[in-house]
Amino acid sequence: MIIPADELQLATERLSASRTGFASRPTLPDPTCERLGAIGGFGLLIEDHCVRLSVYLFKEWGQGQHQADALAASMATSEQESIVAVNGSLLFLGTAPRGDDTAHFALNDLCSAFAGQE
């Protein structure tokens, strides 16, 4: 069993520059943790590719699934391309400018890194 605090650390490691090749700087998650009912989280900006990541930690394993569908629906009409994914107690939201191939590929690689290699 993986406990939630470990999962946040796990996500940080999986999205680190050493693992993904994408240099990033920390930022606040957007939307806020409070708004999604998360108990923690972090944000990352990958400035080279205009990609923004928000990772949220929920109290229960899989709890983020409830938020994932709503987030995906709300982002569908956005000018930003977005990916939403759930991994255990974590929820991943990545956004990038729509139509920008480089940003799109970066976003895909980061989401794959968050999901874990198979």
Smaller CB separation from other proteins, 28 or 48: 48
Q: Residue 89: CB partners within 8 Å, gap ≥ 6?
A: 4, 7, 57, 58, 59, 60, 61, 62, 63, 64
Smaller CB separation from other proteins, 31 or 61: 61
Terminal-residue alpha carbon distance, the chain: 19
Q: Minimum CB separation from other proteins for residue 30, in Å?
A: 20
Smaller CB separation from other proteins, 65 or 74: 65
Q: Minimum CB separation from other proteins for residue 27, in Å?
A: 23
Identify whether 97 is preceded by a cis peptide bond (ω within 30 of 0): no
Binding site for other proteins (CB under 8 A): 1-2, 10, 13-14, 61-62, 65, 83, 85-88, 101-102, 105, 108-109, 111-112, 115-118
Report d(CA 101, CA 2) in Å as an integer: 35
